[in-house]
């Protein structure tokens, strides 16, 4: 693989918990040098989050370890004169500044966009917040679940009896982080032409509504409000979760040929000729009856067996796994999706972290170092700033001449 796409890019990361750290983790995997600026003695709140109380007490919560491999950590108090001066020096040499404070917090600290642009006209400044930097909700606090509920996402998750339900992982944080990473890369590409920096105002709410796709566009275009359908897909039938002999099986026979092939493999060719199931729209109207007939046939074999048989015939199908099963999938192992690193505390334990799902020239992008201890690079702060500002040689000479 050639040099990573963001090799040489320097990122100041002031973010906490997930949306921002997930964004900067993507940038790190792409080759950027990421320095976390953390509150002295406290650090990223995610250091205290996770299922292992001992790790949480040690500032290495699982939530932190998952998103911060390959980064550096420097403690700075932006309310302190020395901390502010050190921060300004790093800003002057940075390519990207990333934060996910509530709108206006960095401005009140004296580092709003006008001041940052004055310090570094080439800086790409990305602010991630729940609702964006402007508007009537810009000052409202927000976490992932708040965005899930307000975006309409929870209203279409579950069944008519159970909705609204929270999606089982922080999807809005993740989507917000991905949107930020995408636009940072775009801004860096634009800067290569114009030489000018950019202010990126990322709204998690807007990113979430955008990611909902058809659930939103069907209403905007056709006036049809989406409803929760549990494990079924509103756009086609049979498309959803069905019952194999040993557990659930997902099938997405969205095309007529796939439906006909499915019926043949289930020894139910009669379903193709049934007027209730003649075409996509008829099958959607009679979804429950079709599901009942398919389940009767599917219960003859296991989900794994049907996955092999249907997949080989071109009918999309797969088992429904839990997380422990999913992370052991041979496909992920083959692609090198996970990377094993030493635990940052020197305990000898192994830390396994996820990649980003993209191969570059056939290779997975991996972190080369474990997540940092709080303030692990404090002693290197001046060297980092000097290198970022092209003063590394001067710093080395000064040290050699010192008594």
- Residue whose C-alpha is closest to residue 132's, from 204, 205, 203: 203
Q: Residues with catalytic annotation?
A: 173
DSSP secondary structure letters along 328-397? T-HHHHHHT-EEEEE-TTSS--EEEEE--S-EETTEE---SSPPPPTTTTGGGHHHHHHHHTT-HHHHHH
Instruction: Tell me the CA distances in angstroms from 91 to 11, 123, 380, one per residue in order.
Output: 9, 8, 16
Q: So what's the pLDDT on residue 394?
A: 41
0.75 exceeded by pTM: yes
66: enclosing H helix or E strand: helix 62-67
283: enclosing H helix or E strand: helix 280-285
Categorize the per-residue pLDDT at 392 as very low, low, confident or very high, splitting at 50, 70 and 90.
Answer: low
Q: So what's the pLDDT on residue 151?
A: 97
Flag whether pLDDT at 400 surpasses 90: no
Burial letters 198-218, b for 16+ CB under 10 A, else e: bbbbbbbbbbbbebbeebbee
Query: Once rounded to an integer, what is the mean pLDDT over residues 311-329?
Result: 97
Flag whether pLDDT at 163 surpasses 70: yes
Q: What is the average pLDDT score of the chain? A: 94
Query: Once rounded to an integer, what is the mean pLDDT over residues 240-257?
Result: 97
Categorize the per-residue pLDDT at 2 as very low, low, confident or very high, splitting at 50, 70 and 90.
Answer: low
Query: Once rounded to an integer, what is the mean pLDDT over residues 15-36?
Result: 97
Fold of 239-320: formyl-coa transferase, domain 3 (3.30.1540)
Peptide bond into 335 cis (omega under 30): no
Q: So what's the pLDDT on residue 1?
A: 55
Flag whether pLDDT at 396 surpasses 70: no
Question: Per DSSP, which regions of 25-123 are E strands?
Answer: 33-38, 72-75, 96-99
- Residue whose C-alpha is closest to residue 5's, from 258, 186, 152: 186
Flag whether pLDDT at 311 surpasses 60: yes
Query: Class of 10-211+333-397 per CATH?
Result: alpha beta
- Residue whose C-alpha is closest to residue 171's, from 205, 208, 132: 208
Q: So what's the pLDDT on residue 3?
A: 86
β-strands 33-38, 247-252: how paired? unpaired
Q: Which two tokens stand for residue 110?
A: 């004296």
Q: What angle do CA 131, 185, 196 make, to 5 degrees?
A: 90
Query: Once rounded to an integer, what is the mean pLDDT over residues 322-332?
Result: 97
Crossing angle, helix 392-401 and helix 381-388, to 10 degrees? 130
Q: So what's the pLDDT on residue 401?
A: 42
Residues of the chain with CATH 3.30.1540.10: 239-320
> Cα–Cα distance between 387 and 391 in angstroms, integer?
6
Q: So what's the pLDDT on residue 402?
A: 43
49-92 residue pLDDT tens? 999 999 999 999 999 999 999 999 999 999 999 999 999 999 99
> Cα–Cα distance between 111 and 98 in angstroms, integer?
12
11: enclosing H helix or E strand: strand 10-13
168-222 residue pLDDT tens? 999 999 999 999 999 999 999 999 999 999 999 999 999 999 999 999 999 999 9
Q: Chain-centre distance of CA 169, in angstroms?
A: 10
Q: Chain-centre distance of CA 66, in angstroms?
A: 11
Residues of the chain with CATH 3.40.50.10540: 10-211+333-397
Q: So what's the pLDDT on residue 399?
A: 40
Flag whether pLDDT at 393 surpasses 70: no
Which residues sit opposite 12 in a β-bridge? 35, 97
Q: So what's the pLDDT on residue 349?
A: 94
87-114 residue pLDDT tens? 999 999 999 999 999 999 999 999 999 9
């Amino acid at each position: 693989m050639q040099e990573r796409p963001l090799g040489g890019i320097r990122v100041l990361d002031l973010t906490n918990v997930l949306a921002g750290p997930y964004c900067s983790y993507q940038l790190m995997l792409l080759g950027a040098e990421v320095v976390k600026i953390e509150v002295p003695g406290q650090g990223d709140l995610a250091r205290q989050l996770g299922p292992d109380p001992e790790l949480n007490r040690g500032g290495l919560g699982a939530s932190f370890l998952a998103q911060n491999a390959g980064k550096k950590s420097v403690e700075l108090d932006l309310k302190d004169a020395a901390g502010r001066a050190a921060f300004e020096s790093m800003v002057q040499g940075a390519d990207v500044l990333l934060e996910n404070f509530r709108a206006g917090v960095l401005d009140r600290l004296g580092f709003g966009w006008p001041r940052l642009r004055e310090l570094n006209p080439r800086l790409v400044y990305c602010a991630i917040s729940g609702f964006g930097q402007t508007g009537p909700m810009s000052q409202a606090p927000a976490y992932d679940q708040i965005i899930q509920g307000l975006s309409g996402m929870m209203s279409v998750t579950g069944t008519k009896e159970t909705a609204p339900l929270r999606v089982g992982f922080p999807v809005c944080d993740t989507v917000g982080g991905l949107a930020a990473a995408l636009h940072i890369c775009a801004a860096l590409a634009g800067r290569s032409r114009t030489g000018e920096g950019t202010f990126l105002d990322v709204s998690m709410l807007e990113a979430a509504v955008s990611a909902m796709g058809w659930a939103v566009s069907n209403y905007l275009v056709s006036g049809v409000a989406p409803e929760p359908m549990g494990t079924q897909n509103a756009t086609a039938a049979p498309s959803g979760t069905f019952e194999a002999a040993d557990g659930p099986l997902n099938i997405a026979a969205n095309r007529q040929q796939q439906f006909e092939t499915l019926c043949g493999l289930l020894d139910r060719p009669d379903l193709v000729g049934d007027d209730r199931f003649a075409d996509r729209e008829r099958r959607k109207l009679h979804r429950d009856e079709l599901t009942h007939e398919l389940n009767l046939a599917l219960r003859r074999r296991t989900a794994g067996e049907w996955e092999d048989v249907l997949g080989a015939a071109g009918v999309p199908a797969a088992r429904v796994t839990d997380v422990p099963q999913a992370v052991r999938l041979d496909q992920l192992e083959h692609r090198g999706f996970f990377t094993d690193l030493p635990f940052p505390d020197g305990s000898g334990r192994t830390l396994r972290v996820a990649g980003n799902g993209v191969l570059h020239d056939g290779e997975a992008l991996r972190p080369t170092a474990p997540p940092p201890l709080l303030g692990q690079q404090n002693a290197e702060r001046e060297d980092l700033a000097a290198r970022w500002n092209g003063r590394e040689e001067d710093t080395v000479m000064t040290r050699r001449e010192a008594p």
